Amino acid sequence: MEYLIKATSGEDLVLPHGSLDQVLSPHSRPSRQLSGSGDYRLAVDGGQIAFSWEAPGWLVMVEGLAQEDAEALVTEIAAQIGAATGQPTTWLAL
């Protein structure tokens, strides 16, 4: 499953330097960083989430999770990105 998290204003969502772990890791459940493709990758609940920055936002690829769980995590992470950037965010399934 793939999603795009973007600012509702259409501006780029650039995260503060050194904040990927804090901003992209869900606060509601345990996760751990993994090595692999993309700008940031983590394991959560038996699945994996990979992030790649793409203008105008963050491409999120989810593997091994049910769609409902994936969308709940994307919603949570979109809110965390919005808080870190000061921009309201939205996401869409690709």
Would you state the pLDDT for residue 59? Answer: 96
Alpha carbons 87 and 50: distance in angstroms, whole number = 22
Strands (E), 1-94: 2-7, 32-34, 40-44, 47-54, 57-63, 89-93
pLDDT at position 26: 96
pTM listed for this prediction: 0.94
pLDDT of 16 reads 87
* Domain range 2-93, CATH class: alpha beta
Please give the chain's pLDDT, 94 residues, in tens.
999 999 999 888 889 889 999 999 999 999 999 998 889 999 998 899 999 998 889 999 999 999 999 999 999 999 999 999 999 999 999 9
Beta-carbon contacts of residue 37 (< 8 Å; ≥ 6 apart) = 50
For the chain, what are the domain ranges? 2-93
Instruction: Tell me how far CA of residue 1 lies from CA of 30, 51, 71, 90, in angstroms.
Output: 20, 12, 9, 17
Q: What is the pLDDT of residue 44?
A: 96
